[in-house]
Structure 1
C-alpha cells in the first residue's frame, strides 16, 4: 500500500512528504477525493478527523 495524497480540512492536522490538498469544507473535500481517486485509480480512506487519505493498494 502506498499513500498518494492527503485531503484535509485543517492545515494543522497533517505534515507529510506526499501531496496535501486543503479543502474549505466537507463538500469540497468529498469532491476532491472523488476526482483524485478516479484519476489515480486509488481508494479513499476517511480517518474521521477531517483528514482523508488516498492510497493505492
Structure 2
C-alpha cells in the first residue's frame, strides 16, 4: 500500500486534507509541479483525471 505525500490541483475546491496541497493556475503548471515533486520526493505522480494529481510513496517500508 502506498502513502500519499502531496496533492497538486488547479482547482482548490477539489481538494482538502492533511497532506501538503499545491494549487496551480492550470493543467500545464500542474503537470510541471507534480513531475518536479515526483523527483524531489522520490515518489510516483498519479493523475486522477479530475484536476487532481497525487504523489505517492510506493516504497516498501518493511525492507
**Quick check: TM above 0.5?**
yes
| Structure 1 partner of 2:22 | 21
| Structure 1 partner of 2:32 | 31
Q: Cα RMSD (Å) of the superposition? A: 0.5
* Larger Rg over CA atoms: 2
Aligned length: 57
Shift of 1:38: 0.2
SS in 1 for 2:13: coil
Q: Which runs of 5+ in 1 are unaligned?
A: none
Q: Which runs of 5+ in 2 are unaligned?
A: 59-63
> What is the CA deviation profile of residues 18-46 of structure 1, one whole-angstrom value per residue up to 9, with x for unaligned ones?
00000101111011011000001000111
